[in-house]
Each structure stands twice: as C-alpha cells, then as structure tokens.
Amino acid sequence: MTKIERRAMLKTIGLASFGALSPNLLKGETLREPYSVSEKPITTDILIIGGGTAGTIAAIQAGRAGAKTTLIESGSQLGGTTTTGGVSFPGIFHAWGKQIIGGIGWELVLDSVELNGDKLPDFSKTPERHWKHQVAVNPALYSLLAEEKCTAAAVDVRFYETPTMVEYKEGRWFVESVGKGVKNQISCSQIIDCTGNALITSMAGYDVLREEDTQPGSLVFSMGGYDLKSLDLAKIPKKYHGYLRQNMLESQIRSTGENTSVPYGYVYVKGADSTTAETHTLANQKGRQNLLDLIRDLRGLPGCENIRITNMKTETAVRETYRINGEYKVTKEDYVSGKIFDDSLSYSFYPVDLHRDGKSIYQEFLKPDIVASVPLRALIPKSSRNFLVAGRCVSSDRLANSGLRVQASCMGMGQAAAATAVLAHKNGTTPSDVSVDDIKELLRVHGAIIPGEI
C-alpha cells in the first residue's frame, strides 16, 4: 500500500468512526467536510490592493473604463479612513471658491450627502478655517454606496484578503493573495498599490522610504454624559479642553443641513502603523488603551463624572508610514507654490499639516489662489513596470506629504492612477509610456478636474 492510499484509508476509517461516534443528525443537519483552504487562479486586467480612500475610487474608475478589475481589501468594508477610521468628513474638494477635485470621489461624497438628506455648504465662500470645507458624510452610507458603485462597475471585491507574494514575469504581475479559507493566484496586467503603506511596492522590490519619526495616528471616538457649556473650564487642566470641546462639535452623522464642523474626537496613537497585522494590532491596542486612560481621567474632573464613550471606531486611523521613491518626488516647494507639471493629473489642497510628537501641529497655509498638484511620475515607483500607487504613499518629501495625504487628494490620485493603468493595459505598455493627453481625456470623460483647466 502506498503512502497516499494508506492515508486515504485512515481518513475513511476516521470519518466512519466519527460518524459512528457522532449523535444522530437532526432534520436539516448535514455533516460538512473539514475546513480546507480553496485555491484558485484569477486573471484580471487591473489589480488594486487596498479598498480605502484611494483604492475604492481607483477600482470604480478602472471598472467604468472597461477594464476587468479586482480589488483586494484586508478589512470588511470600503472607504478606509473615511469609514473604518472614522474621519468621515473628507476634503478638501474646493479651494478659493472653485471646485478643484471632482470625479468619482466627489460623486460618492455628493451621493452620500443627498441620500442622507443633508445639504452642502456654499463653497464659493472661502472659510476662515480650511476644514470647514470638508464635507461630513454618513460613513455607513458612504461605505454602502462605494460598494454599490464597485458592483455596478463589475469590480471583483475581495474582502479579508491580503497579498503574500508579488512577482513580475514576462509583462504580467503574479500575486498570491490569502484570506479566510482562500488562497488565490492572481495574474494581472497592471497593479495599483493603494495600501497607503506602499506595502505592495515594497513586496515588489521597489524602494520605499520612511521617516525616523512618523506622525501619530488617531483613534476616533465620541463621548456623552456632560455639558460643555456648564463646565467650569478654569477647574479643568488645559490638556483636556480640546477633548471636551472637539467632542461637542456637531455632525459626525448629521441630522440637519449644517454640516461643516469637524466632529473630531480622537486620541493620538504614537507611531501608528497599519502595514502588518502585528503593527496594526499594536496601533489599535495603543489607541484603545489611550482612550480608556483618557476616559478615566476625564471622569475625575468636575462636571465630567458621568462621561461615557458613545462611539469608537474599530481601527486607529493612520497618517504616515511609508512613501514610495517615485519617478518624481513632490517637494514642499512644489506644494506650497502650486506647481503644475506637464503630467499633473489631479489637484491637492490642504495646509502643510504635520502632527508632531502627538503634541503640536505644524501648519503652513497655502497662499491665496495656490493649489498644489500631483504629477503622474509621483505615482510611479522608480524603475517599475506596470505599477502605480495612489494615496498617502505618493512620492513626496515629508512636508509635501503632510498636505497630499488627505482624503480628497487621495481620491483624485486614485482616479488618475486607474485611468493611467487602464490605458497602459489597453496599449500593452507601462504607465510612464502612456500619453498624458490620453489620460487627461479619459479623466475628463469621467468627471475629473485636470490641473490647469479651471
């Protein structure tokens, strides 16, 4: 008897004895096969990894442009920072009285606002605080609409999966992706890394960069059980005032027309990094512990004895981890001067906004009429083939990145990267060889705003 035959026989005996030992099956019950990991090959045109702020938009764009599209997301819903991270007031889509980021990201935001019965602010008025033009959305609706649009675009969304191997062979990428009970061998023409952490870029062997000290993450929450107006703040240490005030600002989920306040109750999480399961677990644990500590402290303050947590996001939102070393690195000077490159495909508008050591924020506001832009080359890792990134890992120096990392900018990058990838696929080439004019034309068709054209 060969080894395999013997094993099969033992298995049969085992099953038989299990059947003999198991109680009689009730009506409707069946004995199932033991758990096993199914393996299958998947062939696609565009593979997008990361279904967050940039990846969701990229997937919809690629699908609508007619490409067979696969989207891998390690979590359970789309939207990333906007939904799972709780920063559900994406921005900034408008600058100096004009819309500067449109396309699919804006479409999703507008649809969320409409379906929630909310009202947009008047963007023609430049607000005294930049974040007042961030648009609060109902995160649940945003996630649902994102998924619906992906489905309509025939995007194969694969939740709970993460790549374990990436290899480029003979003009195609081969990616092994593992999730609960699945192990897929994905073959694709183009990859867009939307992990935010440049994870796939690094796995593919291209250079990634990281600061020695990264900006902290934020665990978003809200509290109840106190009345800010009746608190005697003179008796409460100043370090708690921000928590108490921010939490009382309205509109994480809006019930009225006014929508522009930042409802940003959060605790900082130093060194938060969502790149691996271990670092991500640590970021979440630290955030939760920091929140617990805060709540205990607050409950000891006069007027805050009944404070309680009313909502907490399940994950710590991350600001900064890795950046790619791209064909071009956007500098702070490019950013604050509003430089428009020949291959600029989307705008970005936010102050240089560096959260330092979890204690202070370095902010440098853009001067009137200045709007930064993102060139295609900053989305292409140096020396790469058939590979793009979109999102906060865009090739940029640290200060430029602190402005580029925000949601609307990432959405714009996602759409631009996908349009490029689709054309590269159709032409059988690599992104850097695609005609920039063709990319811009495709983006226009899908409602995007091209730098220099407003």
Partner 1 sequence: MPFRIESSTTIHTVFRSCLPFALLLCINSCFLSKKAIRYSVEPTFTANNDDQKKKLTSFGDSLFLVEAKDGLPDYYFQQYNTGVCYDNKCRPLSISIYWSVTGRYLGFELPKEEFLSKTDHEPFVPEDYEFLNKLLANPDLPFADIEYYELMDQPSDAVESVDAVSGATSARVSNIVVKGAVYTTYSLWNIVHGRSQEFIQEHTGSIVTTHLIEKILRDSNRSDKVWVLERFPENIEMTSLLLDTIEALIVNSDFHLAYTAIHAIKAPRLNSEAIQEMLFKAYAKSNDPSIKSLIISKLGQAPFLSNGVINVSRSCVDELKGQELVDLLKLLKKHEVKDDQTLQAVENLLSSDNVFIVRQAQKFLKQIQISNE
CB of 229 to partner 1, least distance (A): 9
Q: How far apart are CA 166 and CA 171, in angstroms?
A: 13
Q: Between residues 98 and 299, which has the closer beta carbon with respect to partner 1?
A: 98
Q: Between residues 66 and 205, which has the closer beta carbon with respect to partner 1?
A: 66
CB of 445 to partner 1, least distance (A): 5
CB of 119 to partner 1, least distance (A): 8
The first and second tokens of residue 250, run together, are 């309205």
The first and second tokens of residue 219, run together, are 């665990």
Q: Between residues 135 and 166, which has the closer beta carbon with respect to partner 1?
A: 135
Q: Between residues 118 and 327, which has the closer beta carbon with respect to partner 1?
A: 118
The first and second tokens of residue 349, run together, are 């508008």
Q: Between residues 107 and 193, which has the closer beta carbon with respect to partner 1?
A: 107
Q: Between residues 110 and 282, which has the closer beta carbon with respect to partner 1?
A: 110
CB of 447 to partner 1, least distance (A): 4
Q: Between residues 97 and 181, which has the closer beta carbon with respect to partner 1?
A: 97
Write a three-state SS string for the chain.
Answer: CCHHHHHHHHHHHHHHHHHHHCCCCCCCCCCCCCCCCEEEEEEEEEEEECCCHHHHHHHHHHHHCCCCEEEEECCCCCCHHHCCCCCCCCCCCEECCEECCCHHHHHHHHHHHHHCCCCCCCCCCCCCCHHHHCCCCCHHHHHHHHHHHHHHCCCEEEECEEEEEEEEECCEEEEEEEECCEEEEEEEEEEEECCCCCHHHHHCCCCEEECCCCCCEEEEEEEECCCHHHCCHHHCCHHHHHHHHHHHCCCCCCCCCCCCCCCCCEEEECCCCCCCHHHHHHHHHHHHHHHHHHHHHHCCCCCCCCCEEEEECCCCECCCCEEECECCCECHHHHHHCCCCCCEEEEECCCEEEEECCCEEEEECCCCCCCEEEEHHHHCECCCCCEEECCCCCCECHHHHHHHCCHHHHHHHHHHHHHHHHHHHHHCCCHHHCCHHHHHHHHHHCCCCCCCCC
Q: Between residues 149 and 385, which has the closer beta carbon with respect to partner 1?
A: 149
CB of 397 to partner 1, least distance (A): 33
Q: Identify which of 383, 385, 389 has the alpha carbon closest to the alpha carbon of residue 322.
A: 389
Binding region for partner 1 (CB under 8 A): 63-66, 68, 99, 102-104, 106-107, 110-111, 114, 119-120, 122-125, 149, 152-154, 445-447
Q: How far apart are CA 13 and CA 434, in angstroms?
A: 61
Q: Between residues 179 and 447, which has the closer beta carbon with respect to partner 1?
A: 447
CB of 448 to partner 1, least distance (A): 9
Q: Identify which of 377, 381, 59, 79 has the alpha carbon closest to the alpha carbon of residue 188.
A: 59
CB of 395 to partner 1, least distance (A): 28
CB of 311 to partner 1, least distance (A): 25
Q: Identify which of 415, 402, 414, 417 has the alpha carbon closest to the alpha carbon of residue 372.
A: 402
CB of 82 to partner 1, least distance (A): 18
Query: Would you tell me the crossing angle of helices 103-115 and 53-64 to the nearest 10 degrees?
Result: 110
CB of 254 to partner 1, least distance (A): 16
Q: Between residues 120 and 436, which has the closer beta carbon with respect to partner 1?
A: 120
Q: Are 376 and 345 in contact (CB under 8 A)?
A: yes
CB of 15 to partner 1, least distance (A): 44
CB of 301 to partner 1, least distance (A): 20
Q: Between residues 167 and 441, which has the closer beta carbon with respect to partner 1?
A: 441
Q: Between residues 39 and 114, which has the closer beta carbon with respect to partner 1?
A: 114
